[in-house]
Structure 1
């Protein structure tokens, strides 16, 4: 009997240790930002066959600081966007009306419903209304984004306009912050050090997006979103 008890006690201790091991919370995988593929297929440069240091496709003066841009070249965009919007709206509405009418006869037939102290009762209408509405609204928004993003030339239009696209990802303990920039630029606005201000980029599109536990804390839960749409009060 003692041997059976010792065997049962060992089995119980092994089961308890297994249960404790299964309850231990293992750390989850680290969230990593996967590197993006190069956004454009870069063709190899063709060697000059005319013996000149300037390609045949280059037009304009030889003294201009122009460069033979190709898809795949890098351009640094200095983001200096700043927007401010203010809106104020005041509304006021006032409406008054009154009606006073007495009907004593209809088609020659007197309309009376008795009398009181010699005064006959006749149908009469006497109404008045007074409606007033006053409303005021104000809205203000300010956005400032500064920084530098290295962009890639993805396409060159026939008129020489360059299509740019770039992004930057920063991962701090699983909280990822991404800056995505796209737009169009003229080669004449690009400085000698291949930098350009965002003020000189047409159709500028800057997206500042966050993903992770900190960003999720700012999101309204899905059930609360549904209730806020269907709740009648």
Structure 2
């Protein structure tokens, strides 16, 4: 068993030693949903856009025209996701409970029997106060939750799938590396084409099933994380 733990820790250490003195690598785009959507064959345009008289018309109805609709509408299109989160919540709970109880039982006289028993009992004991109990319990609980989150970001996302009901599944990923720290932003979800503005933008509150991940990896993030041994100890120790 000791050898097994030693091998596990050695493998974990080797994986971390590979990054010593090196900046974190970017996540590859090849093989992702965005990559496949970009390189897929576009769907043919609607016949209405190239109907009779299209070639002789001064203004065309296609998306590439001056007044065409350039909003994302099909697989491979790009739109801008605007994330402006400013949420705050505060919850306070207080609970109090108190109980006091007292019981007494005695037999001062019963055909002279208590008096006969008192003679055999230790000094100071009497059947007149055979049982005398009292109890007190008290409980008090207080809970306080305070949360404040503020996030303002803009990221370009790609339409990776067009569902049969017309809803678009989007996915966006942005990575910025500064020195040896890599900040990454990931946005995924489902949007309706009607909710996309004329500026080809959509706010996060109109994304169904939105998943927004903003974090990083690198030397600073690595230092802020507890060691593997401490994480295992926190999960196993009952106290």
TM-score, structure 2 normalization? 0.70
* CA spacing shift, 1:49–1:223, aligned 2, 3 Å: closer
The number of aligned residues is 197
Q: Which runs of 5+ in 2 are unaligned?
A: 1-19, 55-60
Aligned 1:54-69 pairs, distance under 5 A: 69=73
Quote the offset at 1:99 in angstroms: 0.9
Choose the corresponding residue for 1:76, options 63, 80, 86. Answer: 80
Q: Which residue of 1 aligns with 2:44?
A: 46
Q: Larger Cα Rg: Structure 1 or Structure 2?
A: 1
* CA spacing shift, 1:171–1:94, aligned 2, 3 Å: same
Aligned 1:105-116 pairs, distance under 5 A: 110-111=113-114, 112-114=117-119
Q: Which residue of 2 aligns with 1:145?
A: 151
Choose the corresponding residue for 1:135, options 134, 137, 141. Answer: 141
* CA spacing shift, 1:174–1:223, aligned 2, 3 Å: same
Quote the offset at 1:76 in angstroms: 0.6
Are the equivalent residues in 2 in contact too, given 1:170–1:177 (CA < 8 A)? yes
* CA spacing shift, 1:184–1:47, aligned 2, 3 Å: closer
TM-score, structure 1 normalization? 0.71
CA RMSD of aligned residues (A): 3.2
Q: Which residue of 1 aligns with 2:169?
A: 163
2:225 is the alignment partner of 1:219: yes
- Tell me how far apart the structure 1 counterparts of residues 169 and 42 of structure 2 sit (CA, whole Å): 19
State the secondary structure of the residue aligned to 1:72.
Answer: coil
Q: Which residue of 2 aligns with 1:23?
A: none
Are the equivalent residues in 2 in contact too, given 1:115–1:121 (CA < 8 A)? no
Q: Which residue of 2 aligns with 1:31?
A: 24
Are the equivalent residues in 2 in contact too, given 1:81–1:199 (CA < 8 A)? no
* CA spacing shift, 1:147–1:223, aligned 2, 3 Å: same
2:92 is the alignment partner of 1:99: no
Higher helix share goes to which structure? 2
Q: Which residue of 1 aligns with 2:200?
A: 194
Higher strand share goes to which structure? 1
Are the equivalent residues in 2 in contact too, given 1:87–1:138 (CA < 8 A)? yes
* CA spacing shift, 1:64–1:175, aligned 2, 3 Å: closer
Q: Which residue of 1 aligns with 2:91?
A: 87
- Tell me how far apart the structure 2 counterparts of residues 160 and 124 of structure 1 sit (CA, whole Å): 84
Are the equivalent residues in 2 in contact too, given 1:66–1:188 (CA < 8 A)? no
